[in-house]
């Protein structure tokens, strides 16, 4: 069998409707990790859906507890070959955000995969069930085409809490580092740069969410009787927010910015065009850090956004001055940022500008920023493989604009991380009408079949060279 045959078989799997039927079964599992009543569904997705499919490919599967009490479990699946040259670690998450039943167009059910032209609607179709099923299906075709032998080991880790910040993932990987030991991390999540643009990204921007809050008094007071006499917390908080970011979107707190935009990252982004698909929102050219291209803004720099801002009751306002106001804000940041001290930088800035009455506190987990060196030989292999399979020049993003728990794999496990996404920016993930594009899924199956095949042919030499370089660097120190 040949590489071409494996790719053709992956495409045939799609064309027969087999891939749609598999994804249809998985989307029907209501794995809403935010909903406590769905805990059984989270466990069943691993044991009843994924484990049998993996065991059929020769994997041994273990369901292991989360180090955090009452958090969802993990599954580790391992396929070991005698005399394997290296190991690839894969990842997926079977949990989804809330289904938002009743809010989908044409009254679609979030738990029923429905095709409307190229769009396949269903919760989890794009994030992340469709993506890890693409990879598992492609891997199965390569195993079959190579008569059961890849020449490398494959380990998968699946979690069921990514949509609530991956609780326990870092501690789990640290505890089971030997079980998860590998030479390369290869996975799929997030969007391509565009629907027709095969993409590789090497990490993700970090995510830091924080709350600004101003509590001035108990309850609200009539605006006619007390207006002009009482400080309005909404005005105070609005000015505090405006001190952080100017009217053109530029961050005004130096401690929240990265140290630099590295030359090889700038070079990788030179020809990247963002927001180029039909239906994408128009970019505001005068917004954000001056002097940066749109691609550099999203993939090479930091942003600070207000996610929500409330005072009083906007749905049913009363003629009263509210007693408190709050805003939820988020920093998306790249490697080279002082994320360990974001709170201190914000606190010092607010105090220096006379807003010592505004409280600031971190909200939720911190996602660290990560980025594999674009010059890595694993990156060259991935780019060459995608180009050979698709006949297109793939887009290389040094990191995703959003945030993923990539730091667990790159820092805690110390692995080079390569992501090949199978979604696109307008997929409506996390919202009603989430969908996967059938055309992207079919191409994704071909891409991953080609990449898993090329790892079998070239990965051993790369793994050996990387190990030798690492050993030399250790000796030099």
CATH number, domain at 79?
A: 3.40.630.10
Q: What is d(CA 42, CA 167) in angstroms, rounded to the nearest whole number? A: 14
Residue 72 lies in a domain: yes
Q: What is d(CA 102, CA 124) in angstroms, rounded to the nearest whole number? A: 16
Contacts of 470 (CB under 8 A, 6+ apart): none
Residues 257 and 270 in one domain: yes
pLDDT at residue 116 in the model: 98
DSSP 255: G
Continuous segment of H or E residues that includes residue 19: helix 18-27
Kindly tell me the sign of the dihedral angle through the C-alpha atoms of 27, 29, 33, 34: positive
- Assess contact for 91 and 156: CB atoms under 8 A: yes
Provide the CB-side half-sphere exposure for 333 (13 A, CA): 26
- Assess contact for 397 and 201: CB atoms under 8 A: yes
Pick the last residue of a domain from 346, 362, 378: 362
Span between the terminal Cα atoms of the chain, in Å: 46
pLDDT at residue 366 in the model: 86
Residues 189 and 241 in one domain: no
- Assess contact for 273 and 295: CB atoms under 8 A: yes
Residues 354 and 377 in one domain: no
Residue 329 lies in a domain: yes
Domain of 253, CATH number, reads: 3.30.70.360
Q: List, edge to edge, every strand of the sheet that includes 153-159.
A: 60-64, 74-79, 153-159, 87-93, 184-187, 417-419, 199-201, 395-397
Find how far residue 146's CA is from the centre of its chain: 31
Mean pLDDT score of the chain: 96
Residue 129 lies in a domain: yes
pLDDT at residue 281 in the model: 83
Residue 215 lies in a domain: yes
Residue 143 lies in a domain: yes
Pick the last residue of a domain from 308, 342, 362: 362
Query: How many structural domains comprise the chain?
Result: 2
Which ranges constitute the DSSP H helices of 400-437?
Answer: 406-407
Which residues, given as ranges, of the chain have pLDDT below 70? none
Residue 40 lies in a domain: yes
The residue range of the domain holding 70 is 3-204+369-474
Residue 281 lies in a domain: no
- Assess contact for 463 and 88: CB atoms under 8 A: no
- Assess contact for 258 and 342: CB atoms under 8 A: no
Contacts of 408 (CB under 8 A, 6+ apart): 166, 169, 170, 173
Residues 249 and 186 in one domain: no
Residues 116 and 240 in one domain: no
Residue 280 lies in a domain: no
CB < 8 Å & 24+ apart, contacts of 325-328: 325/213, 325/214, 325/233, 325/234, 325/236, 325/237, 326/211, 326/212, 326/213, 326/214, 326/237, 327/211, 327/212, 327/213, 327/237, 327/241, 328/209, 328/210, 328/211, 328/363
pLDDT at residue 473 in the model: 83
pLDDT at residue 365 in the model: 79
Residues 200 and 214 in one domain: no
- pTM exceeds 0.85, yes or no: yes
For tokens 């630099």, name the residue.
Answer: 260
Dihedral through CA 59, CA 61, CA 66, CA 72, nearest 10?
100
Beta-bridge partner residues of 96: 32
Dihedral through CA 176, CA 181, CA 186, CA 189, nearest 10?
10
Residues 107 and 191 in one domain: yes
> pLDDT tens digits for 205-239?
999 999 999 999 999 999 999 999 999 999 999 99
């Amino acid at each position: 069998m040949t590489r071409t045959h494996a790719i053709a078989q992956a495409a045939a799997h799609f064309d027969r409707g087999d891939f749609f039927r598999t994804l249809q079964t998985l989307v029907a599992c209501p794995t809403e990790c935010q909903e406590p009543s769905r805990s059984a569904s989270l466990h069943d997705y691993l044991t009843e859906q994924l484990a049998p499919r993996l065991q059929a490919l020769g994997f041994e599967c273990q369901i292991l507890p989360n180090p955090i009490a009452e958090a969802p479990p993990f599954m580790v699946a391992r396929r070991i070959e005698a005399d394997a040259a290296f190991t690839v670690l894969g990842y997926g998450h079977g949990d989804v955000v809330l289904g938002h039943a009743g809010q989908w167009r044409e009254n679609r059910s979030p738990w029923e995969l429905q095709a409307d032209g190229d769009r396949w609607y269903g919760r989890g179709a794009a994030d992340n069930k469709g993506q890890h099923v693409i990879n598992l299906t492609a891997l199965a075709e390569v195993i079959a085409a190579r008569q059961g032998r890849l020449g490398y080991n494959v380990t998968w880790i699946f979690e069921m809490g990514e949509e609530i910040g991956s609780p326990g993932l870092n501690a789990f990987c640290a505890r089971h580092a030997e079980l998860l030991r590998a030479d390369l991390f290869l996975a799929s999540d997030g969007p391509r740069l565009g629907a027709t643009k095969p993409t590789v990204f090497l990490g993700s921007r970090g995510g830091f969410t924080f709350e600004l809050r101003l509590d001035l008094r108990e309850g609200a007071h009539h605006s006619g009787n007390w207006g002009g006499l009482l400080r309005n917390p909404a005005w105070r908080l609005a000015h505090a927010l405006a001190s952080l970011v100017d009217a053109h979107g530029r961050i005004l707190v130096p401690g929240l910015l990265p140290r630099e935009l590295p030359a090889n990252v700038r070079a990788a982004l030179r020809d990247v065009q963002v927001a180029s698909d039909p239906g994408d929102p128009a970019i505001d050219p005068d917004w954000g850090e001056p002097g940066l291209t749109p691609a550099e803004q999203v993939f090479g720099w930091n942003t600070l956004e207000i996610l929500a801002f409330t005072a009083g009751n906007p749905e049913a306002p009363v003629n009263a001055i509210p007693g408190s106001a709050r805003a939820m804000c988020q920093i998306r940041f790249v490697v080279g940022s002082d994320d360990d001290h974001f709170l201190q930088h914000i606190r010092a800035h607010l105090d220096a500008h006379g807003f010592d009455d505004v409280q600031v506190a971190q909200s939720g987990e911190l996602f660290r920023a990560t980025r594999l060196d674009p010059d890595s030989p694993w990156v060259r292999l991935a780019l060459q493989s995608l180009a050979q399979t698709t006949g297109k020049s793939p887009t290389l993003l040094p990191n995703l604009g959003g945030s993923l728990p990539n730091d667990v794999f790159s820092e805690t496990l110390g692995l080079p991380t390569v992501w090949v996404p199978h979604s696109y920016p307008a997929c409506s993930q996390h919202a009603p009408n989430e969908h996967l594009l059938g055309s992207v899924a079919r191409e994704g199956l071909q891409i991953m079949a080609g990449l898993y095949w090329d790892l079998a042919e070239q990965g051993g030499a790369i793994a050996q060279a990387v190990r030798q370089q690492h050993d030399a660097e250790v000796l030099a120190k």
